[in-house]
Amino acid sequence: VQLLAAGALTLITQHWRNKYARKFLPSDAAMALVAVTALDRGNAGPDYVYGLGVPRVKEACDLINADVTAGGKQIVRGQVRHNVTLEYDMVVSSSATPLRVALAWLDLDAAAGASVTLVNDLDLTLVSPGGTSFYPYSGLTNGVGQSQTYQWTTTGPNRRDNVEIAGVDSPQ
């Protein structure tokens, strides 16, 4: 599985370089690309068996192509300051196609022995025109048993990960 992921990321990186004037694929963008285009397996959302899912090279490259065509409006990178909220509007062309959005960032190292290892907590929330909020996968809860095999993710505000994935099955 690790070789599949490494090979997939190599192909995605090469496509990025071909489309963006030989620039290297930033690691935060790579995390978001894989997270938003991976084929989910097992329990819904990230899990201990499949991680973010099975990488899909074609879908990731299609997203890169769509970003180039849209003038950089499909893959948005930027900076945020402390206590600042950034909002991005998007037009959904079809409610028949599920919407997936990822937020990924490079975080600082936490202090040795820190109980919370996420230093910068960014939060992703999708809000429909009608005001309904859709939250990212937010962490693991115990299922039938107490081992990690029986844990799955739920949705809600995410306070632990530097990659957040939110989705809407039938966007408005």
21-33 average pLDDT score: 95
Amino acid at 112: A
Q: Give whichever of 13-22, 83-92, 107-116 has the largest mean pLDDT.
A: 13-22
42-58 average pLDDT score: 86
- pLDDT of 150 strictly over 60: no
Number of CB atoms found within 10 A of residue 33's CB: 25
Question: What's residue 117's pLDDT?
Answer: 84
CA dihedral 63, 67, 72, 74 (to 10 degrees): -50
- pLDDT of 146 strictly over 80: no
Whole-angstrom distance, CA of residue 138 vs CA of residue 100: 15
First to last CA, the chain: 36
Residue 142 tokens, joined: 């115990």
Question: What's residue 93's pLDDT?
Answer: 78
| 39 within 8 A of 56, measured Cβ to Cβ | yes
Question: What's residue 10's pLDDT?
Answer: 96
Question: What's residue 1's pLDDT?
Answer: 60
134: phi then psi, degrees, rounded to nearest 5: -120, 125
What share of the chain has pLDDT > 70, as a percent?
A: 91
Q: State the chain's mean pLDDT as an integer.
A: 87
- pLDDT of 170 strictly over 90: no
Question: What's residue 24's pLDDT?
Answer: 95
Question: What's residue 116's pLDDT?
Answer: 80
Number of CB atoms found within 10 A of residue 44's CB: 13
Per residue in 89-116, pLDDT (tens digit) is 888 877 788 899 999 999 989 899 988 8
Spell out where the chain has E strands: 99-104, 126-127, 133-134, 137-142, 151-155, 163-168
28-53 average pLDDT score: 88
pLDDT-based confidence at residue 148 (cuts at 50, 70, 90) = low
pTM value is 0.86
Find how far residue 72's CA is from the centre of its chain. 17
Sole residue written with tokens 């990924």: 104
